[in-house]
């Protein structure tokens, strides 16, 4: 098709040159005639070029398309087709954008598109409902609309974590926000209403705390009577074993209640505590290990230690003691006789203080590791009950470490299981 168009142009140009030479042949001034003819052809080409320019400037209107043939027709046609394709692409993009906005508008979570300087570029309807941010707020900095210090620190840190804060529209509504990075430095602030979830958690915590507290008194009375019966010299011999088992189960129930109350207290403390007091962890470890050697681990387990004697931390001594007790007793209770346990308390390369309890037992299947810190989760229910565990120890350890800004890490394979609790550098006293 392109060859046909240029054939017309060559024919037209040849016709102009031929006519010009023919006229020049019969005139006494051939050169001026040829020049005039060529200038006329150039003027005609410029007029066609101007028509094309005007048509392009006026927006490719079909009824104003230049009427011509040859290469000019093809050029106008190609521009027209390109404009149609562009309009079709814009139409499809507009449909996709409308569909996207419709989908985002029905989502319950607020979504706010921020540039690298926290200016609002776009927001959905949920943002207006939860945060009071409307589409008319585009271009403003989000800090001027949401005056919450925790949220401001979260945005400045550009953290990939989450932050909780009250809704600016309703102080009884609790929100949780997180940042989703996008190319070019832009970010999406995703905000979710977690009021119902928090209310359910608080209700559950209150129920557990109240139930545990109410169970303590009757259980104490029962244990008192069982102690009287055990000390009665006239107690029949056939009742001694059942009474002893009842006393053991009552003690276990009392331990469960104590752990549930401790866990409920830890879960209700959502913020990091003050630095607290100096906790002599080497002394706690030495005392706890000696107690194990005299009781649970007597003649069954070998305990090796590597403890930095002057490495202390700041925090709650009561809670940190529960970390030491739970990690040590778990290593003994949930491993067979003959197991070697290594206890290390040392600082790492990042100046953190880490307590690691390692054993060479059979290990824990990988599928159980993510669930070990859940309430009452047991890898082997029969063995856990036989060993006297409550199923709450690691949950308590996790919450104590989180409350102190630390972390509990676990890894296991056959022949090696390690529980590692690390305190942050700012809590370390060396």
**For residue range 150-190, what is the model confidence (pLDDT) as tens digits?**
888 888 887 777 888 888 888 888 899 998 888 878 888 88
- Average pLDDT score over residue span 397-414: 90
List where CATH 3.30.450.20 sits in the chain: 107-193
pLDDT value, residue 260? 78
**Predicted confidence band of residue 268 (pLDDT cuts 50, 70, 90):** low
Does residue 96 register a pLDDT over 60?
A: yes
Backbone angles phi, psi at 70, to 5 degrees: 70, -150
Contacts of 185 (CB under 8 A, 6+ apart): 115, 116
Ranges assigned E (strand) in 200-294: 277-279
CA pair distance 259, 212, nearest whole angstrom: 10
Residue 227 is encoded by which pair of tokens? 């102690």
Q: Which range is least confidently modeled, 44-53, 64-73, 297-306?
A: 64-73
Does residue 425 register a pLDDT over 60?
A: yes
Give the percent of the chain with pLDDT over 70. 90
Query: How many H helices and E strands in the chain?
Result: 12, 13
pTM recorded for the entire structure: 0.55
Ranges assigned E (strand) in 58-153: 110-114, 120-123
Backbone angles phi, psi at 111, to 5 degrees: -130, 125
Nearest to 325, CA basis, from 280, 296, 281, 288: 288
Does residue 99 register a pLDDT over 70?
A: yes
Residue 270 is encoded by which pair of tokens? 């959502």
- Average pLDDT score over residue span 61-65: 65
Give the percent of the chain with pLDDT over 90. 14
CATH superfamily of 107-193: PAS domain (3.30.450.20)
Does residue 49 register a pLDDT over 90?
A: no
- Quote the mean pLDDT of the chain: 82
pLDDT value, residue 1? 45
Fold assignment, 277-429: Heat Shock Protein 90 (3.30.565)
- Average pLDDT score over residue span 282-306: 89
- Average pLDDT score over residue span 363-384: 75
Contacts of 9 (CB under 8 A, 6+ apart): 70, 71
CA pair distance 124, 129, nearest whole angstrom: 9
Fold assignment, 197-268: Helix Hairpins (1.10.287)
Query: Exposed/middle/buried for 417, CB within 10 Å: 0-12, 13-18, 19+?
Result: buried
Q: Which range is least confidently modeled, 71-75, 219-223, 291-295, 420-424?
A: 71-75
Nearest to 251, CA basis, from 374, 378, 379, 389: 389
Side by side, which strands form the sheet with 312-315?
277-279, 312-315, 428-429
List where CATH 3.30.565.10 sits in the chain: 277-429
pLDDT value, residue 36? 83
Phi-psi region of 185 (alpha: psi -120 to 50; beta: other; left: phi over 0): left
């Amino acid at each position: 098709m392109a060859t046909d168009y240029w054939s017309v142009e060559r024919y037209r140009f040849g016709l102009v040159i031929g006519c010009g030479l023919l006229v020049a042949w019969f005139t006494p001034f051939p050169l001026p005639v040829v020049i005039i003819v060529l200038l006329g052809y150039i003027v005609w080409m410029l007029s066609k070029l101007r028509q094309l320019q005007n048509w392009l400037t006026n927006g490719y209107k079909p009824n104003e398309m230049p009427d011509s043939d040859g290469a000019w027709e093809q050029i106008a046609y190609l521009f027209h087709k390109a404009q149609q394709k562009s309009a079709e692409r814009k139409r499809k993009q507009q449909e996709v954008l409308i569909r996207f906005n419709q989908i985002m508008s029905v989502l319950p979570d607020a979504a706010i598109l921020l540039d690298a300087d926290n200016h609002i570029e776009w927001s959905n309807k949920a943002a207006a409902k939860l945060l009071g941010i409307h589409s008319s707020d585009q271009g403003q900095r989000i800090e001027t609309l949401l005056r919450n210090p925790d949220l401001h620190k979260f945005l400045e840190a550009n953290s990939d974590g989450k932050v909780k804060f009250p809704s600016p529209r309703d102080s009884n509504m609790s929100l949780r926000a997180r940042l989703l990075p996008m190319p070019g430095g832009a970010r999406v602030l995703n905000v979710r209403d977690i009021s119902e979830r928090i209310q359910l958690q608080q209700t559950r915590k209150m129920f557990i705390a109240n139930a545990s507290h109410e169970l303590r008194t009757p259980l104490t009375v029962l244990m008192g009577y069982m102690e009287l019966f055990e000390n009665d010299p006239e107690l029949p011999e056939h009742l001694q074993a059942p009474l002893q088992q009842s006393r053991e189960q009552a003690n276990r129930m009392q331990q469960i209640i104590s752990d549930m109350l401790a866990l409920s207290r830890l879960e209700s403390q959502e913020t990091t505590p003050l630095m607290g007091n100096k906790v002599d962890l080497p002394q706690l470890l030495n005392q706890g290990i000696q107690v194990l050697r005299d009781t649970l681990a007597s003649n069954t387990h070998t305990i090796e230690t590597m403890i930095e004697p002057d490495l202390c931390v700041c925090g709650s001594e009561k809670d940190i003691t529960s970390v030491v007790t739970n990690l040590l007793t778990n290593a003994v209770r949930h491993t067979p006789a003959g197991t070697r346990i290594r206890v290390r308390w040392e600082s790492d390369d990042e100046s953190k203080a880490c307590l690691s309890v390692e054993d060479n037992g059979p290990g824990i299947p990988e599928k159980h590791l993510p669930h070990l810190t859940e309430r009452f989760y047991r890898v082997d229910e029969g063995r856990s009950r036989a060993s006297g565990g409550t199923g709450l120890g690691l949950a308590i350890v996790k919450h104590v470490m989180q409350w102190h800004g630390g972390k509990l890490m676990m890894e296991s394979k056959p022949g090696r299981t390690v529980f590692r609790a690390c305190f942050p550098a700012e809590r370390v006293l060396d």
